[in-house]
Structure 1
Amino acid sequence: MTLYVGLGNPGPAYEKTRHNIGFRVIDRLVAETGARNISKKAFEGELYRQGNLFFLKPLTYMNLSGRSIKAVMNFFKISLEDLVVVHDDIDLPLGTIRYKVGGSSGGHNGLKSIDEYVGKEYLRMRMGVGKPTRKSEVVSYVLAPFTPEEEAEVERLVDYAAEVALKIPSLSLDELKSRYSLKGGVDGGT
């Protein structure tokens, strides 16, 4: 079994924001796999299933994402090594994708919550969304929508991330890093 989690905030106001790129990848995966909605109130999120693949969008808001993830993992007996979290990363340029297991949350409140509720040793698909010029602008930056110019790149990035995500169960971390990392965009090479 594999549980894919996209981080984001619920509601139309957040839909196209940088912080919600994880939700967008989950939406694409659900559409591509034909997964069916199996949400329950106890999961505190939208949960979809296709065979042994689970796709979750926690609806707890970013800062409590771990609570939703823990509920789903406990209910379906999903282990930490079968958890894949897709999230925005301001330390990577837009169009970049990196993978890692464990490590620091880097100040990301969604990751902090997951680390607190289930532990740190899960696979992270880090999707670059760029960085504001001043550190004081981080919150407003991640909660702002992508610019119209960036949106085409984001669509390509979401497509690519969804395609790679479905390969994850059959790849080692080294294979994933060497074959599917992106530097500066889908067309920018690996």
Structure 2
Amino acid sequence: MDRWLIVGLGNPGPEYAGNRHNAGFMVLDELAARAGGRFKAHKSRAEVLETREAVLAKPLTYMNLSGGPVKALSDFYKITPDRVIVVHDELDVPYGALRAKLGGGDNGHNGLKSITKSLGTRDYLRVRFGIGRPPGRMDPAAFVLKDFATAERKDLPFLVDRGADVIESLMTRGLDVTQNEYHRADLHISGPPR
């Protein structure tokens, strides 16, 4: 059975752990907890957890260099780009929403830009974890490196959990079914999901 490579994007180090930019790491930690495993250092400059179905990976480079470890892992495990899923924070999706898609541009996301360049294709699956736009005139680069706000943190465990559900759905049921189910299920911060 062909395995999947599931990549969560973030920046290494405790000072970044709660940042919006680290939503990908948060979802991967949830998947690791579900698998009952622990991440271990890998020579690809990533932390890796191998399961029967997938290789879970958190690149240990900074975000803008994520492509190197992703390419090294895809080569090492012989996983083709069509079986790569990258979960990342997304400014153009509102907080409380998750979007799955195949390919497309990088929307200025340096992690995606690096992965696309290293893999030589845009055709890999993405799970876009909505963080919304920054308030007022705040620079998006500063916004993504801030921790989730207090009000957002209340719903964060639920969203991280659902991010892991989206990834499992992509692996087992494919893109179309996953989009139909999860694109309608946005969290409305004022109330329960519809």
One-letter amino acid of the counterpart of residue 110, structure 1: G
> Does residue 129 of structure 1 match 2:131?
yes
> Does residue 183 of structure 1 match 2:186?
yes
Where does residue 100 of structure 1 map in the other structure? Answer: 101
Following superposition, the deviation at residue 60 of structure 1 comes to 0.6
One-letter amino acid of the counterpart of residue 183, structure 1: D
Where does residue 86 of structure 1 map in the other structure? Answer: 87
One-letter amino acid of the counterpart of residue 161, structure 2: D
User: Equivalent of 1:157, from 145, 159, 172?
Assistant: 159
Where does residue 26 of structure 2 map in the other structure? Answer: 24
Where does residue 11 of structure 2 map in the other structure? Answer: 9
Flag the structure with higher helix content. Answer: 1
Asked if the contact 1:23/1:57 (under 8 Å) is kept, the reply is yes
Change (3 A) 1:164 1:5: same
Question: Structure 2 stretches of 5 or more lacking a match?
Answer: none
Give secondary structure in 1 for the equivalent of 2:107: coil
| TM-score normalised by L of structure 1 | 0.93
- Distance between the aligned counterparts of 1:188 and 1:91, measured in 2? 20
Where does residue 172 of structure 1 map in the other structure? Answer: 174
Number of matched residues?
188
> Does residue 109 of structure 1 match 2:114?
no
Deviates more, 1:53-62 or 1:171-180: 171-180
- Distance between the aligned counterparts of 2:169 and 2:94, measured in 1? 24
Where does residue 44 of structure 2 map in the other structure? Answer: 43
What per-residue deviation string (whole Å, max 9, x for no partner) do you get for residues 151-188 of structure 1? 02111100111123222222221111101224344833
Asked if the contact 1:153/1:185 (under 8 Å) is kept, the reply is no
| TM-score normalised by L of structure 2 | 0.91
- Identical aligned residues as a percent: 40
Following superposition, the deviation at residue 38 of structure 1 comes to 4.7
Give secondary structure in 1 for the equivalent of 2:66: helix
| Root-mean-square deviation over aligned CA pairs | 1.6
- Distance between the aligned counterparts of 2:40 and 2:51, measured in 1? 10
Where does residue 61 of structure 2 map in the other structure? Answer: 60
Give secondary structure in 1 for the equivalent of 2:88: strand
Asked if the contact 1:36/1:50 (under 8 Å) is kept, the reply is no
Following superposition, the deviation at residue 134 of structure 1 comes to 4.8
- Distance between the aligned counterparts of 1:48 and 1:184, measured in 2? 29
